Structure 1
């Protein structure tokens, strides 16, 4: 099957190489044409324009900088009868709008959220995968080729769900990195080697991660006291020690304070016997 790929940044180039290695005829295009030269040497056909590249294959994969870049690149392309898979990072609303845009132009559409970094592409044991949402028929028909670079997971018929899953998981990761950064800041300057502390940190976060199951159960049941071990009243009281320690260690608490403030607000509203699931109520507008 002939395949077209638009975008040859670090991720796009990694995708291209896995498809070429798997024997797929591949047409590529990149705004900066010099990035396509190494792939041409590896067997790819290089198109002069995005429209020419799209004409070269029915399955068109896009991996560009942002949603605006997708619209610009495909402005002059004929998408009639094409299968368009957008792996460009964007928001759920952008994905839904792009799906409608693609449908209006005669294409089937899938949006994708890549849960991997370029070195993980084409390495099954790395654990990388891609969320896809939109046309189930397209996903099923093209699953084998889509699964070559990384495992393919269907997130739902709503075109925005791949991006939503992607951003939700990345948001959780960002919070984790904030906590890790604060922890290392606390020990900085002490007679504690970061490399010796790191295994303790990983073990602790791994042990705490299953709390997500408890919170999910509480959110679905509506009972935020279900199975609570450490309640909000206890945690808010303990937060004072965390803040005092940060002050003593001359470390800014700015990574912790926003969440602590939400916990205190929920407690003040009379929910001291809950866990932290009730904070979701304060975040939801």
Structure 2
């Protein structure tokens, strides 16, 4: 039996794969769910499961105190939310924008919402559609804590781990871009590694078990790197950056010998050599992070002292 009352309601705007997964999780949890999508017809399966299909954005947001938005980017969410009819209907209600974009767009949208009497939360979904509604889902939120607490029981329908990161509205997006930086850089590295391996006669299936071994040592390296950034230690006792540069050069040479573009590794090697040029050759690789962070323009929102 659902723990939600019949009065529990949520609206979902945007019915791409992730939007459909979000709406489905709300339905499965027993929340009255209203859905809308710019392209007609995408709500059919959800309506058959019990969702209410709205004919307009204004109708959709009027049906619930909480509206969850999940579209391709903030250009798309602005086009939906800032339509005069939608803006008027949202006054006094809460928007949770789970659309992925950069932190400044979240801050701009929060400012707009405040000018129109709309409570605004931002969020990031850190796991694939298949995890939504399961214990494996991971959601990050930022913005007014009171609003998050008010809707936390409804958001629990989405499953998994849910973390409110603080009142500063850009924090969820900041985590999102940083974490996706790890993911896509790693995926680019793996794709490049498979290409180099094949050029040397090593199949992807042969390499994969050893690639998994590399992935398994990363958590402790991540923890140590975070400690380096927090303390400014950057010890190179185990592997000085001069040694790292040597192995990077080997990768570049092996790649380019086969005519494989080594631009990503050349960029990483270049950063490491700049650190050495600054007199930090005995330090560990995380000195690169310190160097890059020091290049950031001062005064950025949410900028920490680390």
TM-score, with normalisation over the residues of structure 2? 0.87
Match of 1:201 in 2: 211
CA RMSD after TM alignment: 1.6
Unpaired runs of at least 5, structure 1: none
- Alignment equivalent of 1:67, drawn from 71, 74, 92: 74
CA distance in 2, matches of 1:71, 1:54: 15
Structure 1 position 209, deviation (Å): 3.5
Q: Which one of 226, 233, 237 corresponds to residue 246 of structure 2?
A: 237
Structure 2 unmatched runs, 5+ = 1-7, 297-306
1:170 equivalent in structure 2 = 180
* Residue number in structure 1 paired with 2:24: 17
Q: Deviations over 1:134-190 (max 9, x none)?
A: 011111121121121233211111110001111100001111112211211121144
Q: Give, in angstroms, the shift of residue 123 of structure 1.
A: 2.4
Structure 1 window deviating more from structure 2 (191-200 vs 229-238): it is: 191-200
Specify whether residues 14 and 277 from structure 1 end up closer, same or farther in structure 2 by C-alpha distance, changes over 3 A only: same
CA distance in structure 2 between the aligned counterparts of 1:6 and 1:201, rounded to whole angstroms: 39
C-alpha change, 1:64 and 1:240, in structure 2 (3 Å) is: closer
Is 135-144 or 227-236 further displaced after alignment? 227-236
Distance 1:107 1:228, change over 3 A: farther
**Quick one: distance in 2 between partners of 1:71 and 1:241?**
47
SS of the residue 1:258 aligns to: helix
User: Is the CA contact 1:79–1:102 (under 8 Å) kept in the aligned structure 2?
Assistant: no
Query: Offset at 1:113?
Result: 0.5
- Mapped to 2, the partners of 1:190 and 1:246 lie a distance apart of 10
2:116 maps to which residue?
105
Pick aligned residue for 2:107 from 73, 96, 106: 96
What per-residue deviation string (whole Å, max 9, x for no partner) do you get for residues 71-114 of structure 1?
22122222222011111111111111111211222122210101
User: Take 2:242 and 2:210, find their aligned partners in 1: how far apart are those partners?
Assistant: 27
Corresponding position of 1:117: 128
Alpha-carbon distance between aligned partners in 1 of 2:249 and 2:199, rounded to the nearest angstrom: 22
Tell whether 2:166 aligns with 1:149: no
User: Contact (CA 8 Å) 2:248, 2:265: kept in 1 or not?
Assistant: no
Distance across 1 between alignment mates of 2:172 and 2:27? 25
Q: Deviations over 1:211-269 (max 9, x none)?
A: 121221111112222x6310012222333322222234443212211011000111112
- Aligned with 1:26: secondary structure? strand
2:100–2:124 Cα contact (<8 Å) kept? yes
Q: Across the two proteins, how many residue pairs are aligned to each other?
A: 282
* Partner residue in 1 for 2:140: 131
SS in 2 for 1:109: strand
User: How far apart, CA to CA, are the structure 1 residues paired with 2:94 and 2:250?
Assistant: 56
1:86 maps to 2:86 = no
